Amino acid sequence: METVIEVKDLKREYVTRRGVWKREKRVVHAVDGISFEVRRGEIFGLLGQNGAGKTTTIKMLTTLLAPTDGTCKVLGHDTFGEEKHIRTRINFIFGGELGVYRRLSARDNLRYFSNLYLIPKKEQDERIQKILELVDLAERADDLAETYSKGMIQRLQIARGLINDPEILFMDEPTVGLDPVGARMLRDIIRRLKEEGCTVLLTTHNLAEVEELCDRPVIINKGKVIARGTPGEIKGEFGTLEDAYVKLVEGVSA
């Protein structure tokens, strides 16, 4: 299968200063030499604790943050220096309730983002209606987003992320803060996206989500890859993904 994301020895460092006069310099290795590839049409997972480097990695992949070192390519182009060849072909969704305008209806939100992506007006109505049906918001399409539940807001964010028909959809903790019913509905939507040929890369610390959705997760801890493969391969002799994850993290931390 075609490789659409290539990450090799990727690093991202931050310089912080401590002390009363901020004279003590400290280098933080947020991402410390990770490598992986994502194939077209799969659901790929980045699994790790808070602070493991997941969000920093996804920001580099979506051209929002420059790498310190290493290779970071999306759809054959470097994410820093060739952004214009990538941005119209991808989209991203962050967990929580950011990314849509609450004083607009779902339909008007999608129309606004359609205009940002320069989608021809004659195509907008049909595309917007199709996406609203996909995320099960068609019946509430003309209600203000401020009247939506948290789960509906997150589904609207997915709709916003699909408006440019992206080849790759990046999702950072897409089910964070959702109740079980809302989280399951989002997972169903993610599976439908795969069926339609969209490549999905998601970050999560939810083990059940990884096992249910991801074709090939990568576990990262303290900015490093500590395991990779299918969920079954990672579980191995540990029996469950949870046991494998805990043992692997404990082994790195020891």
Average pLDDT for 148-162: 92
Average pLDDT value over all residues in the chain: 91
**What are the tens digits of pLDDT across the range 44-74?**
999 998 889 999 999 999 999 999 999 999 9
Q: Over 80: is that where the pLDDT of 43 sits?
A: yes
Q: Residue 163 and residue 92: Cα distance in Å, rounded?
A: 11
pTM of the model: 0.90
**What are the tens digits of pLDDT across the range 66-114?**
999 999 999 999 999 999 999 999 999 987 667 899 999 999 999 999 9
Q: Over 80: is that where the pLDDT of 21 sits?
A: no
Q: Over 50: is that where the pLDDT of 254 sits?
A: no
Average pLDDT for 126-155: 94
Average pLDDT for 230-244: 89
Q: For every residue of the chain, which 3-state class applies, written as one string?
A: CCEEEEEEEEEEEEEEEECCCCCEEEEEEEEEEEEEEEECCCEEEEECCCCCCHHHHHHHHCCCCCCCEEEEEECCEECCCCHHHCHHHEEEEECCCCCCCCCCEHHHHHHHHHHHCCCCHHHHHHHHHHHHHHCCCHHHCCCEHHHCCHHHHHHHHHHHHHCCCCCEEEEECCCCCCCHHHHHHHHHHHHHHHHCCCEEEEEECCHHHHHHHCCEEEEEECCEEEEECCHHHHHHHHCCHHHHHHHHHHHHHC
What pLDDT, on a 0 to 100 scale, did the predictor assign at position 20? Answer: 67
Q: What percent of the chain has pLDDT over 70?
A: 97
What pLDDT, on a 0 to 100 scale, did the predictor assign at position 96? Answer: 65
Query: Which comes out higher in pLDDT, residue 183 or 18?
Result: 183
